[in-house]
């Protein structure tokens, strides 16, 4: 397997939502899971499980739950789960309902999922994360039979790219990397970024859409209020 350098891979990241029909070899798939296994993990808890969804009906169920058609179209779909079920079985005195425990699980899951995607992109694959499955988190958990203390956090579509989208502008370093203290608000710098992102969307999709529009779309209404009761039902986030 030929792998691109890490920095080149990371700096050329684009979300890929259209894939060829080429399958991912067993050798490459195994390497991707090993990349995930080597991810950093808090206190060596290793509190993440990956479910590889190969069953067509399950793929379609998660596609319907998330509203993302490429869940059923990609070569591989991986479901990353916070998983403390094994910990409870091995250590029944585990206090898993603390908020910090779920934070540890979420951080570890994100790190592992990113390891897998970076490894995949270094090998010529593309991918896109599916957070929208949390819109119907209970349905997704039931589809794959998740036990108590195990919750689905994010999906990952993987395959060989059948598109070549441009890089989406990120916030400049000056607006997200600070030295020693949080800086004063710089309204002009954010306005400049908003203009840059608007130009990107106009060129890519012919639509008027800014970063402020993204914030309003995501944050100006209740954000998945079903998540807290679902976590609590599964033994997490109770205190």
Q: Is the pLDDT of residue 152 over 90?
A: yes
H or E stretch including 153?
strand 150-159
pLDDT in tens, 41-60: 999 999 999 999 999 999 99
C-beta separation of 141 from 188 below 8 A: no
Of 22, 23, 32, which Cα lies nearest the Cα of 1?
32
The model's pTM: 0.96
pLDDT in tens, 82-98: 999 999 999 999 999 99
> What percentage of the chain exceeds 70 in pLDDT?
100
């Amino acid at each position: 397997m030929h792998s691109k350098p890490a920095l080149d891979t990371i700096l050329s990241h684009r979300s890929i939502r259209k894939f060829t029909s080429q399958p991912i070899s067993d050798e490459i798939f195994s390497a991707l899971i090993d990349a995930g296994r080597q991810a950093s993990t808090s206190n060596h808890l290793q509190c993440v499980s990956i479910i590889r969804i190969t069953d067509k009906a399950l793929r379609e169920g998660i596609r319907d739950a998330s509203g993302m058609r490429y869940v059923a179209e990609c070569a591989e779909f991986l479901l990353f789960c916070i998983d403390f079920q094994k910990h409870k079985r091995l250590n029944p005195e585990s206090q898993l309902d603390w908020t910090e425990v779920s934070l540890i699980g979420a951080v570890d899951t994100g790190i592992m999922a990113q390891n897998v995607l970076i490894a995949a992109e270094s090998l010529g694959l593309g991918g896109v994360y599916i957070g929208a499955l949390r819109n119907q988190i209970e349905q997704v958990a039931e589809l794959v039979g998740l036990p108590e203390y195990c919750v689905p956090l994010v999906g990952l579509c993987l395959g060989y790219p059948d598109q070549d989208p441009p890089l989406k502008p990120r916030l400049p370093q000056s607006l997200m990397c600070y030295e020693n203290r949080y800086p004063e608000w710089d309204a002009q710098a954010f306005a400049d970024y908003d203009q840059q992102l608007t130009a990107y969307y106009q060129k890519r999709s012919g639509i008027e859409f800014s970063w402020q529009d993204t914030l309003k779309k995501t944050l100006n209404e209740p954000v998945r209020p079903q998540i807290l009761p679902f976590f609590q039902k599964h033994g997490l986030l109770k205190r």
